[in-house]
Amino acid sequence: MHHIKVSIKAEVRKSYGYIIFLSLLIVPLFFLTACGKKGDPTLKEFEKPVAPSSLKAVHREEKLVLLWNYPKEKETAIEDFIILKSSGSEFVKLPPVEKSKHTYEDTDFKTGITYSYKIVARNLKGVNSSDSDLVVVSPLAVPPPPSDLSFSIQGSFLLLRWKPAEKGLFYNIFRSLEKGKYGLSPVNTKPLSDISFTDAFNINKTVYYTVRSLHDSGIRDEGAPSEELVVDPATFVPSLIKNLTFYAAPDKVFLYWDLPEESWVTSFRIYRKKVGEDYQLIGETQIPVFVDKEPSLTRNDYRVHAAGPAKEGPGADLSGVKYIAPPE
The CATH number that applies at residue 49 is 2.60.40.10
Residues 55 and 108 in one domain: yes
Task: Give the phi and the psi of residue 241 in degrees, each rounded to 5.
Answer: -70, 155
At 42 the pLDDT is 61
Which amino acid appears at position 236 of this protein?
F
Return the pLDDT at 235. Answer: 95
Residue 86 sits in the same domain as residue 151: no
Contact partners, residue 207, CB within 8 Å, separation at least 6: 175, 176, 177, 230, 231
Give pLDDT, residue 327: 61
Q: Are residues 192 and 128 in the same domain?
A: no
Q: Give the pLDDT score at 21.
A: 45
| 161 and 114 both lie in a single domain | no
User: DSSP assignment, residue 251?
Assistant: T
Domain count across the chain: 3
- Does residue 180 form part of some domain? yes
The total of other beta-carbon atoms located within 10 Å of residue 52's CB is 26
Residue-level pLDDT at 19: 46
Query: Per the domain annotation, does 254 fall within a domain?
Result: yes
On whether both 56 and 86 belong to a single domain, the answer is yes
Residue 253 to residue 230: CA distance in whole angstroms: 42
What is each CA distance from 198 to 151, 173, 188, 201, 215, in whole angstroms? 9, 10, 10, 9, 21
Task: Flag whether 205 is in a domain.
Answer: yes
Q: Which of 137, 155, 171 is the last residue of a domain?
A: 137
3-class SS of residue 26: helix
The domain of 206 spans: 147-232
- Within 10 angstroms of residue 86's Cβ, the number of other Cβ atoms is 15
CA distances from 76 to 42, 48, 132 (A): 15, 14, 19
99 lies in the same domain as 133: yes
pTM for the whole structure: 0.76
Residue 90 gets the label, from left (phi > 0), alpha (psi -120 to 50) or beta, of beta
pLDDT in tens, the chain (328 residues): 444 444 444 454 554 454 444 454 444 444 444 454 455 556 677 789 999 999 999 999 999 999 999 999 999 999 999 999 999 889 999 999 999 999 999 999 999 999 999 999 999 999 999 999 999 999 999 999 999 999 999 988 999 999 999 999 999 999 999 999 999 999 999 999 999 999 999 999 999 999 999 998 989 999 999 999 999 999 999 999 999 999 988 888 999 999 998 989 999 999 999 888 899 999 999 999 999 998 877 788 999 999 999 999 999 999 988 776 666 5
Residue 142 lies in a domain: no
- From residue 256, alpha-carbon distances to 198, 231, 262, 272 in Å are 33, 31, 17, 14
Q: Are residues 118 and 82 in the same domain?
A: yes
Q: Which among 195, 211, 232 is the end of a domain?
A: 232
| Boundary-marking domain end, from 82, 115, 137 | 137
Residue 32 is assigned to a structural domain of this protein: no
Which amino acid appears at position 317 of this protein? D
User: In this structure, are 267 and 312 located in the same domain?
Assistant: yes
**Does one domain contain both 225 and 253?**
no
Whether 239 is in a domain gets the answer no
Domain contains 315? yes
187 in the same domain as 156: yes
Is residue 179 one of the residues assigned to a domain?
yes
